[in-house]
Amino acid sequence: MPSIHQRIDSINAQLAAQKQLIGQLEAERSALPGQLSSLMEGERDRMLRERRKWEDLREDVNVCYRRVKDALHVNNLAIPRSHGSGERPNLERLYEMTRDPAAVAQSPSRTDEVLRLCGRYLDYIDVHVRQIENSGSSRCDQHNRELDVRRQQIDRRIREAHASEDAILGGPEGTELAAALRRAQAESAVSVARLNRWPEAGACASALFGYEGPKINADREKADLLKRTFGNMVSGNKLCLARNIQLERGFGARVEYNVNDEDRVVAGIEAMLLSALLARPARGLRVITADGIHYGPTFLGRLEPLARVRKSGFLRVPASDDEMRAMLKSQHAHYSGLQTKLAGQTLEQYNAAHPDEALPPTVLLVAQDPNAFGFSMAGSELAFLAGNARSLGITVVELVRLDPRSQNQRAFQSTLTTGADIVVRQTDDGRFYVLHNDKKRRFMWGRVPDLPADFVSRACQLAAPQTFGSVYFDRPELSFTLPTRSVGKRRPITVPIGIDDDDKLFNCTFEGDNFAAYIMGAAGSGKSSLLHTIIGSLIMNYHPDEVELWLVDFNKTEFSEYAKLKPPHVRNVLLEESEQLMFDLIDELMARMERRESLFEANGWKNLSDVPPSVFMPAIFVIIDEFAQVSMQLLETRNSTALPDYTLKLESLLRLGRKFGIKFIFSSQSFLSGVRALTETARNQIQLRLAMKNVRDEVEGTLGVDGSNRTDALMDEINSLGRFQSIFRQQEKVDGRDTWRYYHVRNLYLEYDALRKAVLDVNAALHAENASSTDFAQALTSDNAYADKHPVFLTSDAPVPYGVMKERYRKFAGNVRAHAGYETVDLSRTALLNLGVPASFVQVKPAIMDLSGPEENVLVAGGTDDERACMAMSALRSWFEVDPNHEGIEVWGSGNARAYADHMDYWGKLTHASSPGEIKARVESLKDKVLADKRPRLVIVFGLDAIFDEMGEMEELAELSSLGGSAPKANEPAKSDGGGTDLWSLMQSLDEQIGDGPLDDATRASIQSQIDGYNAGVPARSGAPIASGDVKRVKSIIGKLLEVGPKRGTHFVVLQPDAYSVKKCGLDQQLFMHKVAFPMSRGDSYDLFGGPVASNLAAGTAVYTCERRQVRIVMRPHIYKGMVVNGWRFDGTTTSRTGGA
């Protein structure tokens, strides 16, 4: 649609053409008499020329006549005339006849003939002379008639041209222009009616800047017609054109005025601001005043109170240079953020695409006096605002006060409004004008009627920001509705996470490259609250069959409520601090990804969004709090020989998982330590970054701030981060290129009671069905039904009795090859040892023991006596599946090993031995059995070092008896004597008595008496006597049994109280393929495992390793009746806290 200026130019061009035509026609009409005169003169000249020829001919005839007359000597000689047509003169004949006049005179007949011939010739000439005269007269008449016709034609065309002018002015074009002028005035005029109806009058795009006086190219005679067409919008031939501002498109105006006329300018600016305010609803306009003349709200006029309303659209006016700098700096940061949000669009384009999130346009008033030494307006902040005014929707009005008496005013050159849309200047007599096509047009400021008494107060109330705040359900756009299924195509996943400076909701999308996020914040920053907001939003807005939550908290504090509430979206709530959890998590996700990859390939899908909603394949959200705690454990698997490199597995998940709908949210107090376990490739996949309050290095590291993107504005945002605030980074396309965008937001807060109610409402409205929860299953169709995910809630550190897990173990064994890592297991040749419950959502993960494989022995180190006893019981219970009659099971234990001695109610039912002699006999017997057959056997050994020590002590006693007196009864077991002396006390006493020197007879007799007395108080026990060299032999046999036994079906489970006791045994640790360790020091862990695997364990857990098979499992030992594990006791029915281990 043409603009008003274009309409005026078009009408004026047409009027000019008609006026030019009229002028040409009138000039042509004025030239008609001259043309006639010229034609008449030409006719006369032509007649004279033609007549002269005939008159010359007449004279020739008369010459001949006179010759004859003279020859006759008469005065009157009549020429006979018939006055007829005559005869065409033949002068040669006549000349020949009158050559001799005398002869002619002498002959009357010849005379008569000459005279008759002259008469006929003269008659002929008279006829033609008359014809010439008649023809000339006729042609003159014809010219007169033709010119009269032309004059009439010209008059008609002049009338038509005037009619065309009337048609232009009074016809469609004129009326359309008049209508456009009325619309322009109506939409921007500041009237009492609009003031009274505001803001109910609604928003419009235009505001009044002032009025121009363009001329209509019409004569005074058209004054009545102009008045009829344009009414009061015309005076003479000058129109009153409202010069409106398209607020969202940006505008540039410069006003140069004389200091004596500032009041008129102030009134005009006030009218402009009022018009802009009326054009926008409440808070739909921003007004920034940078007044370097008055340092106050002078140019706001009666609207000055709006600048005192906190956070209104009218910014407070700086009152000093420092305030001016601070204000401009903050606005530079604000509009830099707005530019980021627009992402290459203009404000008008953004608002058209997001009508519900429309951003306000801005009026920027910049006042300066080039003759004064005030604040310089040539700074980069103002240059940025003015340079981006078109895209940011900023109307820049530069007010330049000039003093006519100053010599500097002509030297002023604007640096802000170069190429302004309108430049207003003053003539010497004080009139304002603008230039249009290098022609001056009069300019008039808008006028404001008397404001309604309550207008300013109403405006102040409405200008105060209507904020809904950051509480989730306080915001109307986040009202709770039950989640429904996607229809036709899967809905993209978008989560509200905060609000911006304008109280607008800020959403985070998890689609495309934005599938992984890292949230970093120090303790107390609000990080956990933000996690709950994200989780709650997913639960409330997406159907359980479309979103699946895996919640992992290594600090075991944040996600426990979801285990209690059990929302249908949850697959796992894992509150555990073990590395096992992360390993199993990664392995399970890898398996899920590989299954989905096959399905995608088979169905031609490229991304999860291609999968129809009718197929069950939810987006998996893996949300890990305190990720930094496990980062180092993942890092230790890099270049490990005992475990796969889980950092590479996690990299693969992050690199490939996004297309299959696997999304991650990592959270920790430290980003720099949290990402140590992530390869560079893995880190690059995490595009979404949220940095909360923390030290600067952490914030910059999270956001990826370096020299290429570090700006003062961003640094100010980082330094000013408060609690429950985030700087959000995501990658966006700008002009086809990937660009980092940063947003400072206040985090949304979802109160626990509101979250709990919403989850309970979801639980009440939706019900689980036993539909398949396997990818690619047929999805349910009802919004109120969902596939039961059979969630795992790992929320307690309570150990689980073996009996509780027994049925699961049997089911696992019954389908063992269906489980990852167990595909090749042959139960006829393999034992599955369920030594404990993995500290993970994978609750069954037995150790694989080859019944005839080398080094298939188990070493257990550390833990309490009861914990080691529990581990031994679990090995036995697992072995019962191999040897249900217990024929090949033996339990050996030192009498001083509490794990053995305190639980004889368990071991006493099996073949067991405790005295050195008994154990020696069992060793010898076992050696023979191993040599004889390959039957499966399991030997549980408690405190092998203590057994060797006791054998050594008995061997010393046997040697001591050889010193004299009665030989000690070495085959008698240790027992406390009547005075309560036990073997250890006796040995310590004897060592002190013997000392380093030779014994005298009295001392020797005393020692022998003590030994005899001890032996007399101990009842006889079975077993071979311990003789000199037996310890070495037993050690040698056990070493060989550990080496050869597993190949022949005999396996050992050796349980030692600590790493020192393991080393004290002197056994080759390479003979133990299976190792179990409870928490121990880093040094001990390195001694046993070559790494810190047991030094990072939580209380009540143990780590199982099988380096050859690259297996590591962190587990909690089973608990048995009468035993205490990590402060828990099992009474045969329930497990309860005891308050201590």
Burial of 1052 (0-12, 13-18, 19+ CB in 10 A): buried
What is the predicted pLDDT for the residue at 1011?
66
Q: State how far Cα 893 lies from the chain centre.
A: 65
Q: What is the pLDDT of residue 998?
A: 63
The per-residue pLDDT for range 533-581, each reduced to its tens digit, is: 999 999 999 999 999 999 998 877 789 899 999 999 999 998 877 777 8
Mean pLDDT of 353-376: 82
CB 1118 within 8 A of CB 802: yes
| pLDDT for 76 beyond 90 | no
The answer to whether the bond into 361 is cis (omega within 30° of 0) is: no
Distance CA 933, CA 923 (A): 16
Residues 1081-1113 as b/e (b if ≥16 CB within 10 A, e otherwise) read eeebbbbbbebbbbbbbbebbbbbbbbeeebbb
Q: What pLDDT, in 10s, does the model give residues 896-925?
A: 889 999 999 999 899 999 989 899 999 999
Average pLDDT over residues 1110-1125: 92
Does pLDDT of 407 surpass 70?
Answer: no
pLDDT, tens digit, 9 for 90 and up, residues 174-225? 898 888 888 877 777 777 777 777 776 555 668 889 988 888 888 888 888 8
Structure tokens at 993: 């008595």
Output DSSP code: residue 480: -
Nearest of 970, 1075, 987 to residue 1023 by alpha carbon: 970
What backbone phi and psi angles, to 5 degrees, belong to 808? -65, -35
Work out whether the CA dihedral 857, 863, 865, 868 comes out positive or negative.
negative
CA distance 679 to 638: 10
Of 955 and 891, the structure prediction assigns the larger pLDDT to 891
What pLDDT is attached to residue 906? Answer: 92
Phi, psi of 834, rounded to the nearest 5 degrees: -90, 80
Q: Is the pLDDT of residue 978 over 70?
A: no
Q: Range with the lowest mean pLDDT among 175-184, 374-383, 531-540, 960-969? A: 960-969
Structure tokens at 70: 């003279």
| 283 pLDDT above the threshold of 60 | no
Which of the four pLDDT bands, split at 50, 70 and 90, describes residue 1140? very low
Q: Sheet containing 725-734: which strands, arranged edge to edge?
A: 505-509, 494-499, 737-747, 725-734, 688-691, 516-520, 662-668, 619-625, 547-553, 570-574, 792-794
Q: Output phi, psi for 582, to 5 deg.
A: -70, -40
Per-residue pLDDT tens for 107-136? 888 888 888 888 888 888 888 888 888 888
Asked whether the CA dihedral 680, 684, 686, 690 is positive or negative, the reply is positive
**Residue 475's pLDDT band (cuts 50, 70, 90):** confident
Please compute the mean of the pLDDT values over residues 873-889 and round it to a whole number.
94
User: 1027 or 743: whose pLDDT is higher?
Assistant: 743
Residue 1003 has pLDDT above 80, yes or no: no
Structure tokens at 247: 């607020």
DSSP 1024: P
The DSSP result for 803-848, as a single string, is HHHHHHHHHHHHTGGGSTT-TT--TTTEEEE--EEESSS----PEE
pLDDT for 741 equals 82
Nearest Cα to Cα of residue 363 among 472, 463, 273:
273
Give the residue from 428, 371, 439 showing the smallest Cα distance to 400: 371
**What confidence score (pLDDT) does residue 413 get?**
61
pLDDT of residue 968: 43
As beta bridge partners, residue 1050 has: 937
Tokens describing residue 1051: 């396996």
Angle between helical axes of 983-994 and 1001-1016 (0-180°, round to 10): 180
Give residue for tokens 């073996």.
Answer: 802
Over 70: is that where the pLDDT of 161 sits?
yes
- 731 or 851, which is more confident? 851
Cβ atoms 385, 376 nearer than 8 A: no
CA angle 803/805/807 to nearest 5° reads: 90
CA 785 vs CA 569, 759, 763, 770, 798: distances in Å:
12, 15, 10, 10, 33
Q: What is the pTM of this model?
A: 0.61
Does 247-463 carry CATH code 3.40.50.300?
yes
Is 1139 among the annotated ligand-binding positions? no
Phi first, then psi: give them for residue 899, nearest 5 degrees. -55, -30
526 is in an annotated binding site: yes
| Range in 21-35, 437-451, 1057-1071 the model is least confident about | 437-451
What is the radius of gyration, based on Cα positions, of the chain? 57
Q: Is 30 exposed, middle or buried (0-12, 13-18, 19+ CB in 10 A)?
A: exposed
Count Cβ atoms below 10 Å from residue 975 Cβ, excluding itself: 16
Architecture field, domain 802-973+1020-1137:
3-Layer(aba) Sandwich (3.40)
Q: Is 523 annotated as a binding residue?
A: yes
pLDDT in tens, 741-779: 888 999 999 999 999 999 999 999 999 988 777 887 777
Distances from the Cα of 60 to the Cαs of 80, 102, 128, 984, 1041, in angstroms? 17, 19, 16, 188, 173
Please tell me the predicted confidence (pLDDT) of residue 887: 92
Select, from the ranges 347-361, 570-584, 734-748, the one with the highest average predicted confidence (pLDDT). Answer: 347-361
Q: At what angle do helices 380-387 and 321-342 cross, to 10 degrees?
A: 40
Asked if pLDDT for residue 975 goes beyond 70, the answer is no
Distance CA(889)–CA(912), nearest Å, equals: 9
Distant-in-sequence, close-in-space partners of 1063: CB < 8 Å, separation ≥ 6: 1087
Q: Which residues of the chain form CATH 3.40.50.300?
A: 247-463, 472-792
- For residue 439 the two structure tokens come to 């022609």
Look at residue 992 and tell me whether its pLDDT is greater than 80.
Answer: no
- The answer to whether 524 is a known ligand-binding residue is yes
Q: Taking 60 as the threshold, does the pLDDT of residue 1023 lie above it? A: no
Is pLDDT larger for residue 802 or for residue 961? Answer: 802
- Alpha-carbon torsion 217, 222, 223, 224, what sign? negative
The full 3-state SS of 1025-1054, as one line of letters, equals CCCCCHHHHHHHHHHHHHHHHHHHCEEEEE
Find the mean pLDDT for residues 665-675: 93
Report, as an integer, the average pLDDT of 246-270: 91
Q: Counting every residue, how long is the chain?
A: 1141
Residue 1141: its pLDDT value, please?
Answer: 40
Give the Å distances, CA to CA, from 854 to 459, 1040, 1043: 89, 12, 7
Which is more confidently placed, 1035 or 4?
A: 1035
Q: State the pLDDT confidence band at 1017, using cuts at 50, 70 and 90.
A: low
Q: What percent of the chain has a predicted confidence (pLDDT) above 90?
A: 43
Instruction: Extract the tokens encoding 646.
Output: 């889980």
| Topology at the third CATH level for domain 472-792 | Rossmann fold (3.40.50)
Mean pLDDT of the chain: 86
Least trusted range by pLDDT, from 409-423, 485-499, 1093-1107: 409-423
Q: Note the pLDDT of residue 1020.
A: 42
Picking from 760, 769, 781, the residue whose alpha carbon sits closest to that of residue 480 is 760
d(CA 307, CA 903): 83
Average pLDDT of the segment spanning 498-510: 87
